Amino acid sequence: MSGFVSHFTNRLDAKGRVSIPAPFRAVLARDGFEGLYCITSSHCEAVDAGGNELLAEINKRSEAFAKLSPDHDALAIALFGASENPKIDGDGRMVISDMIRDHTGITDQVTFVGMNYKFQIWEPEKFREYRAEAQRRALAMLSGQVPVPSQGEPA
């Protein structure tokens, strides 16, 4: 089966809770991670979220540097300082922390976006903007992937 796909927008309640979309919970259950792993994205106003599969990707990054080296320490602080492990309650909800609020600008609604091995947490309006841009970039990337020398776009 596949990973996190599609996107959903849910409401925050008065206690700052929001339902994680049921299809995403099913993927997390298969992954086996306890709770949720969250880390603020370094290049956009979103939070990466997932389980063991996401954690493995992050670890892979820091393994490129020797442990105890200054580079490794700096990266570790940057990565894990920007991370959280929110719990998921019995009804499949998580609490949006202040860190997530500050980094995303979320107020009363949350958009969850599937990205296969992880998903992202967005403020809905910011997501719409980012998505339009992402689609433009994706089109350019995919057409550039094919060995076509010129930048020309057919009709």
Residues 78-97 that bind DNA (CB under 7 A): 87, 89-93, 95
Site membership for a copy of itself, residue 125 (CB under 8 A): no
Kindly state whether residue 151 participates in binding a copy of itself, applying the rule CB under 8 A. no
Question: Which of a copy of itself, DNA, none binds 115 (CB below 5-8 Å, type-dependent)?
Answer: a copy of itself
Site for a copy of itself in 52-91 (CB under 8 A): 55, 57-59, 61-62, 64-65, 67-68, 70-71, 73-81, 83-85
Angle of CA points 119, 55, 127, to nearest 5°: 20
Q: Select from a copy of itself, DNA, none the partner in contact with residue 134, using the beta carbon and a kind-dependent cut-off of 5 to 8 Å.
A: a copy of itself
Task: Give the nearest distance from C-beta 102 to DNA in angstroms.
Answer: 14
Interaction between residue 114 and DNA (CB under 7 A): no
Closest approach of DNA to the CB of residue 25, in Å: 7
